[in-house]
Amino acid sequence: MYLMRNAVLIFVWLAAVTAPAQPTPGWKICRNPVRVFPGRATVDLTPLFLWWSRQPLVVTNKSAGADTNAAPAEERPLAAWSRVTGTKLATSGSSWLVQAVIHASPTEHTNARIILNNPPAVEEAAYDTLKAQRADVEQRMVAARRDYDANTNAEAKAQQQVERYRRSWSKVASDGVIAYTRIAVQRHNSAAAALSQWDRLALTRHQIDAQLAAIPASNGVYQIDWFAVLLGKTKGGVPVYDLGLVSATPP
């Protein structure tokens, strides 16, 4: 029975360790539409998000025979707002210096170095915390696996000793059977506890992975992916964008 149990765990273990360490990006591009600015002014990006969702994801070439009677392109709302993606280069007070890609639409973008006010520092911190938690869970899973293997092997050896005593005509055979049966049971229970712990940790890791997948990241590094507004001013020649404060309530 211990061999079958060991084989099952090995299969699950191999599936786990060969799975991608970083889940496929699954965060929502259009999220947290309500932004708050000084003076409690609010902006609702819902119209922009709806427009964005209706745009093609790839550039399409217009053929020579294109329908000239087609409906005109839908006007883009909130023209000062763009999707800003990129990597933080440095901090400047409460703002970030960002090597950014500025997306005017899903198919139009430019590269720029920008200052980002009200940057997503909370989201970045959450990502780093989750990464650390996942690493800790991974270490504990390795320890649980090691404990399981050790106890399973010890159980097998104890069972072998039980069989040897049963086949012998020694005067102490009965005592040996009892002693090693007790050891086998103890080791079996310890292996079961380690396996149970591994299962719980695997579930925790799955939950952490789901949370990580909802946060923008690339190759284990947090990435900015938010809609921000161009303020129309520069700092040291660098254009300034503002993400605004995220509000949980509509304006």
Q: Domains of the chain by range and CATH?
A: 2-14+125-213 (1.20.120), 34-52+76-121+221-246 (no CATH)
| Below-50 pLDDT ranges, the chain | 1-4, 7-25, 60-68, 70-71, 250-251
Q: Which residue has the tokens 């409906």?
A: 71
pLDDT at 38: 86
- Helix residue ranges, H only, 77-120: none
Per-residue pLDDT reduced to its tens digit, 145-185:
999 999 999 999 999 999 999 998 788 889 999 999 999 99
Residue 105's H or E segment, with its range, is: strand 95-105
Please tell me the chain's helix, strand, coil percentages from 3-state DSSP, rounded to the nearest 5. Answer: 45, 25, 30
Contact 85, 100 (CB under 8 A): yes
d(CA 150, CA 160): 16
pLDDT at 5: 52
Contact 13, 195 (CB under 8 A): no
- Indicate the SS3 state at residue 1: coil
Separation in Å, CA 161 to CA 4, 69, 169, 209, 222? 20, 88, 14, 44, 55
- Indicate the SS3 state at residue 140: helix
Q: Which residue has the tokens 């932004």?
A: 35
pLDDT at 72: 56
Contact 107, 58 (CB under 8 A): yes
Residue 122 CB neighbour total at 10 angstroms: 9
pLDDT at 208: 98
In this structure, the chain runs to a length of 251
Work out the burial of residue 208: count CB atoms within 10 Å of its CB; fewer than 13 is exposed, 13-18 middle, 19 or more buried: buried
